Amino acid sequence: MSRKEHTHLRGRQGQAFADQVRGVSAERILCVSIDVSKDFHVVLIHNSLGEIVRPSFEIDIFQSGLSHLCRAIDEAVERTKAQVVLVGMEPTGHYFENLARHLHSRPQPVTLINSYAVKQNRSQQMMTYEKSDPIDAAAIGDLLRRGEGTLFQPVTGVYLELQHLARARVSEVKIQTRLKNRIIGHLDRIFPGLVLTKASVKTGRYQPLFATDFWECQTWQHLIRVCPDPRQLAEMSPQDLIAAFHARRYRLGPVFATRIITYAQKALIPDPEVVAIRCELLQLDLLALDQVMTRIAHLEAGLHERVIQTPYQILSRVKGLSPTLAASLAGAIGDPAHYTYAGQVFRRSGLVSGRNDSGAHQLKGQGKGITKVGDVHLRRALMAVTDRLILHQPILQAYYHRLKQAKSRGVARVATARRATGILWATVRDQRADTLLLKGGAPM
């Protein structure tokens, strides 16, 4: 039977839950709902009818909290003669992971209930304007008893290392971006016009100092380390500027030196006091940027070292995908043995357009964002990979641009990501880097 032919309203997930509880009365199905937070967790124990077996109580984040929870579950099982025990919690940041791992090793299967689904369930229960931990636990329990959520599968080994390295790298890249933006802000005050917007350059309004993008031009970056002050530059001779560059072991020829000085002489010189304090701040941020870039390089080296130990290493041979992207995707997806087909990966990412169309009002999701009922890390990794494949793989590029003619850019990207997920899954499964070629694309 085709995997698209479902025997349950909610597909395979719904069928698996139906098989788990079939023949068991609702009073014998025990639900343990946990609202996770940083410093404590709220627990509510009830049966599948929604009848509360034990009112909500708090547990701490230490060993005593886990022991308290396990005793409460055992007592509730004994009292209700439960035959099935369901434990559910929101995957709240990283706070849930430690508790979920300990329960999993008890062994006690844990179901992850997405935070967005909990929020929506609260709205359906007419609790929109209320916010308290017991209500959240109740909303989690309501979803849990209906079979919502996905089974928690702890990441281990090399995939655990890839996951943490990739997430640390994302954090460092965000810091790098903030520092670069701050540096541009300093330069706008120190040397107005040194870094021009792309729009001004494209329209021909201004001629930039260098045609290359600021963060890709070494001479530009060397200049702001040597002497970013236009007043000092305007008073220098080309030989003085070349000597200043060589003193720091930077290369600079007379042609570029003359161009820099001429450009500085055109500048509208800012207040000297503003320039002085901003130059000091600029050097601090440049030092911080160098440190961040060193950390990023170290993290990427760790990712490259580990991805070759996984089946995902084949992705680095696909045109457009670097070892860093392949490793980040491996860390986000995890062990491929946890999945049976590509659709499970895509569904977990939450890359599904929101729709509330009905009857004759079929707008095909136009104007609706993705539902976000999924893993944000996986979603980010899949979209990063998709954007690169659109640039470098003609078959996906043509597919994306064809969709853009009838749909919005966001919907086209999500649809392309879905197709790319299937192709990447086949690439990892078959360990063939020519999967896109087999699909009719150009040589990879």
Based on the fold, state whether residues 176 and 291 are members of the same structural domain.
yes
Based on the fold, state whether residues 323 and 396 are members of the same structural domain.
yes
- The predicted-structure confidence for 294-325, as pLDDT tens digits, reads as follows 999 999 999 999 999 999 999 999 999 999 99
Q: Give how many domains the chain has, as a whole number.
A: 3
Residue 17 lies in a domain: no
Based on the fold, state whether residues 124 and 62 are members of the same structural domain.
yes
Residue 221 lies in a domain: yes
Confidence of residue 275 (pLDDT cuts 50, 70, 90): very high
Based on the fold, state whether residues 120 and 193 are members of the same structural domain.
no
Count, residues in the chain: 444
- The predicted-structure confidence for 85-120, as pLDDT tens digits, reads as follows 999 998 877 889 999 999 998 888 899 887 777 887
Share above pLDDT 90 across residues of the chain, in percent, rounded to a whole number: 61
Longest dimension (CA), the chain: 90
Based on the fold, state whether residues 71 and 142 are members of the same structural domain.
yes
Based on the fold, state whether residues 253 and 183 are members of the same structural domain.
yes
Q: Give me the CATH number covering residue 102.
A: 3.30.420.40
Based on the fold, state whether residues 144 and 33 are members of the same structural domain.
yes
Based on the fold, state whether residues 146 and 27 are members of the same structural domain.
yes
Cβ atoms 33, 90 nearer than 8 A: no
Residue 9 lies in a domain: no
Q: What is the pTM of this model?
A: 0.82
Domain boundary residue, one of 87, 122, 151: 151
Based on the fold, state whether residues 192 and 267 are members of the same structural domain.
yes
Query: At residue 365, does pLDDT exceed 50?
Result: no
Whole domain around residue 399: which residue ranges?
A: 313-332+339-351+373-438
The pLDDT of residue 347 is 82
The pLDDT of residue 200 is 72
Confidence of residue 6 (pLDDT cuts 50, 70, 90): low
Q: Give the whole-angstrom CA distance, residue 346 versus residue 340.
A: 12
In this structure, how many other beta carbons lie within 10 angstroms of the beta carbon of residue 232?
Answer: 16
Domain boundary residue, one of 151, 186, 212: 151
Cβ partners under 8 Å of residue 57, min gap 6: 42, 43, 72
Confidence of residue 353 (pLDDT cuts 50, 70, 90): low
Q: Give the whole-angstrom CA distance, residue 248 versus residue 291.
A: 18
Residue 244 lies in a domain: yes
Q: What's the chain's average pLDDT?
A: 87
Q: Give the whole-angstrom CA distance, residue 392 versus residue 63.
A: 51
Cβ atoms 198, 221 nearer than 8 A: no
Based on the fold, state whether residues 207 and 263 are members of the same structural domain.
yes
Residue 293 lies in a domain: yes
**Coil, helix or strand at residue 105:** coil
Q: Cite the DSSP H helix spans in 228-375.
A: 230-235, 238-247, 254-265, 272-307, 323-333, 342-349
Mean pLDDT check: name the lowest of 172-186, 233-247, 329-343. Answer: 329-343
Q: Give the whole-angstrom CA distance, residue 325 versus residue 317.
A: 11
Mean pLDDT of 2-19: 71
Render 154-180 in DSSP notation, one character per residue. Answer: ---HHHHHHHHHHHHHHHHHHHHHHHH
Domain boundary residue, one of 100, 120, 151: 151
Residue 343 lies in a domain: yes
Residue 184 lies in a domain: yes
Cβ atoms 245, 252 nearer than 8 A: yes
The pLDDT of residue 356 is 44
Residue 191: its H or E element: none
**Coil, helix or strand at residue 422:** helix
Q: Which of 148, 112, 121 has the alpha carbon at shortest distance from 375?
A: 112
Query: At residue 368, does pLDDT exceed 70?
Result: no
Paired tokens of 75: 């007592």
The pLDDT of residue 126 is 53
Confidence of residue 373 (pLDDT cuts 50, 70, 90): low
Based on the fold, state whether residues 145 and 28 are members of the same structural domain.
yes
Residue 356 lies in a domain: no
Mean pLDDT check: name the lowest of 183-192, 251-260, 338-347, 364-373. Answer: 364-373
Based on the fold, state whether residues 134 and 182 are members of the same structural domain.
no
Q: Give the distance, in angstroms, between the CA of residue 247 and the centroid of all CA atoms in the same chain.
A: 42
